[in-house]
Amino acid sequence: MGQRTPLYDLHLALGAKMVDFGGWDMPLHYGSQVEEHHQVRKDCGVFDVSHMTVIDVGGRDAMPWLQHVLANNIARLDGLGRALYSPMLNEQGGVVDDLIAYRTDAGYRLVTNAASRDRVLAWLKVRSAGFDVGIEEQAQLAILAVQGPHARERVAELVSAARATLIRELHSFEGFADGDWFIARTGYTGEDGLEIILPGHQAPAFFNDLVGAGIAPSGLGARDTLRLEAGMNLYGQDIDERHTPLTSNLGWSVAWEPVEREFMGRTGLLAEIEHGVQDKLVGLVLEERGVLRAHQVVRVAGIGEGEITSGSFSPTLSKSIALARVPMATGDRAEVEIRGKWYPVRVVKPTFVRHGKILI
């Protein structure tokens, strides 16, 4: 038996198929993964993502410490409520984890991945030595992600007037507290929406309210195909400690300025640049029948080989798509080995669908 979120019993009552995900018992779907995917693209759906880790950071040295441990520059959060995405790197530049950081009135709030919870907390605490900083995991909190083009308006109809006003006024990548709730306009689907952090004991009732209002409960299956279509990396598949942001389509998340900021991994990244970045993360589209899966070999004529990191059938495109790490010189065509046969694929920018629009 794995760890369970406060919504576990409700998931069972709603008929969810439960699976293990990073040591957590989580809903894969509630009947149809494809229908849940389409519902998020066309209207909205709600995901239980309470397995994610919420960490509050405070203290006199909170900013300089985060400037040290994050590849992105936390000083960019120059106003309360602002948020940014950042990887955390080891000394060689490999990705220890990726997260969203919010500026709060008490300091900063980090939301990190579920499977790396214990390792990341230990990693952060070791690297806080010499800094006046407090690191507090908020294990009592739950997180609901309501995603889709109508998500904000649908949620605003179900909450207090103050929270409805907050939701309607939120800019993208902002998050603010309202009482014991924290409401952010962020997500992992390529659609607009909210991530609501709230006390765990309140989460089942609010999830039930959302479902009762016609917002589709959605599981990890749809979450994965949605994020893949949006070209969003999954930690442990598309990014890990063996690969840097420069080979993972995340170069944009590394803040090189100011030059005097010695963030962890900077030296490793500079060495990689000096020697020449060898690989890149691209999108693949299979034009024929078949399914692209992680770890399938990608062959680029006259150049070399790579590997699919994430792959699946795309409900929006009605084609199989993938993210793959391939040699830097790869052009717009390649081949993938599927069950001993080679199939041609088109190489594209690793963003297939965003805000309901097909981009390839």
Structure-block tokens of residue 273 = 């640049």
Its pTM surpasses 0.85: yes
CA distances to 138, 305, 310 from 201, rounded to whole Å, are 13, 50, 35
Phi, psi angle pair for 324, to nearest 5°: -145, 145
Which residues are CB-contacts of 220 (< 8 A; sequence separation ≥ 6)? 19, 21, 26, 27, 28, 29
Q: What is the DSSP letter of 246?
A: G
Which residues are CB-contacts of 212 (< 8 A; sequence separation ≥ 6)? none
3-state secondary structure of 353: strand
pLDDT digit of tens for each residue in the chain (360 aa)?
A: 789 999 999 999 999 999 999 899 999 999 999 999 999 999 999 999 999 999 999 999 999 999 999 999 999 999 999 999 999 999 999 999 999 999 999 999 999 998 778 899 999 999 999 999 999 999 999 999 999 999 999 999 999 999 999 999 999 999 999 999 999 999 999 999 999 999 999 999 999 999 999 999 999 999 999 999 999 999 999 999 999 999 999 999 999 999 999 999 999 999 999 999 999 999 999 989 999 999 999 999 999 999 999 999 999 999 999 999 999 999 999 999 999 999 999 999 999 999 999 999
Q: Scanning the structure block, which residue is given the tokens 């929406």?
A: 193
Structure-block tokens of residue 125 = 């605490």
Rounded to whole angstroms, the Cα distance separating 341 from 339 reads 6
How many CB atoms neighbour CB 333 within 10 A? 11
